[in-house]
Amino acid sequence: NLQSTKTLTNGIEMPRLGLGVYKMTEREETLQAIDKALKVGYRAIDTASLYGNEVEVGEAIRYSGVAREDIFVTTKVWNSDHGYDATLRAFEVSLKKLNLDYLDLYLTHWAVPETFEETYRAIQRLYDEKLIRATGVSNHHEHHLEKLLAKANIAPMVNQVEVHPYLQQDGLKAFCREHKIAVTAWSPLGRGGVLNDPAILEIAQEVGKTAAQVVLRWHLQNDTIIIPKSVTPSRIEENAQIFDFELTPVQMEKLHALNRNQRFGQDPDNFKFDF
């Protein structure tokens, strides 16, 4: 069902579906999108300090009437704030903007080569201080995770990376499974870029669902957490109606065959850290 969760290593339940709010910069639009999502049953919001909408995310949560403890809130520390002290400061700013007492998950946004280990060390401290309920990172390859795992007192519980049918990340997903790191797919719909794929459209016809629903269901059946973004009320609802059908092993295999290691976003190893 819509409240389906993934249990993280520390026992915290993270909703398998959340609303991504990247590029929601218009105040009314953001408030209305989150309001709609919470009304149709979403219980997680994925934001970042970079997105510039933490104030609106906090407001939308408070005015929704849904209890704070029933909503899983994630935000991220932007690249220019990486390092131990800067991360602690950035967290305080985010918390203040969101106007919340704690966050459910705080992530390193990208693995800044010189500082990602220190950034994660600060995230561990926030966890120890009970300011966040789970630790995690984003855009970390295996080689980044290996470095963190070698030193961490608390292994990252989540890695949020680009995953969709054209970039399936089998190797990284296997590594994360082995180390009990939950995987969240960003751009789970490939920013909409996979939705006209003939194979996906064919499966959509077979199951009587939309291409977006098929792709999101495929993620769920792969044990991947998803945070699709939309500001369109009908699509926000559509993207949540994915718990009432199942793809067959043959359909799953057809989707698996679509991988072409194609990124719509940047490769964490080639990210332009221009600050």
Q: What positions carry a catalytic annotation?
A: 51
Under the binding rule (CB under 6 A), the answer on residue 235 touching ligand NAD is: yes
Contact map string, positions 182 to 221, toward ligand NAD, x by CB under 6 A:
----xxxxxxx--x----------------x---------
For residues 240-269, which are near ligand NAD according to CB under 6 A? 265
DSSP percent split of the chain into helix, strand, coil, nearest 5: 45, 15, 40
Q: DSSP string spanning 70-97?
A: GSEEEEEE-GGG-SHHHHHHHHHHHHHH
Contact at 8 Å (CB) between 87 and 119?
A: yes
CA distances from 238 to 29, 137, 232 (A): 18, 28, 10
| Contact code string over 60-99 relative to ligand NAD, x by CB under 6 A | ----------------------------------------
Q: C-beta of 103: minimal distance to ligand NAD in Å?
A: 14
Q: Which two tokens stand for residue 265?
A: 């976003």
Q: Find the binder of ligand NAD among 56, 81, 117, 238 (CB under 6 A).
A: 238
Nearer to ligand NAD, 50 or 149 (CB): 50
Of residues 124 and 138, the one with the C-beta less far from ligand NAD = 138
Looking at beta carbons, which residue is closest to ligand NAD?
20
Least distance in angstroms from the C-beta of 64 to ligand NAD: 18
Contacts of 136 (CB under 8 A, 6+ apart): 74, 105, 106, 107, 108, 123, 156, 157, 158, 159, 160
Choices 1-9, 123-131, 225-233, 243-251 (CB under 6 A): range interacting with ligand NAD? 225-233
Contact yes or no for 166/259 (Cβ under 8 A): yes
Using CA atoms of 147, 148, 151, 156 in order, give the dihedral in degrees to the nearest 10: -160
The token pair that represents 140 in the structure block: 């970390």
Cβ 212 to ligand NAD shortest distance, Å: 3
Residue pair 76/15 in contact (Cβ under 8 Å)? The answer is no
Residue span 123-162 as binding mask against ligand NAD, x where in contact by CB under 6 A, dash where not? ---------------xx--------------------x--
Give contact residues for ligand NAD (rule: CB under 6 A): 20-22, 46, 109, 138-139, 160, 186-192, 195, 212, 227-230, 235, 238-239, 265
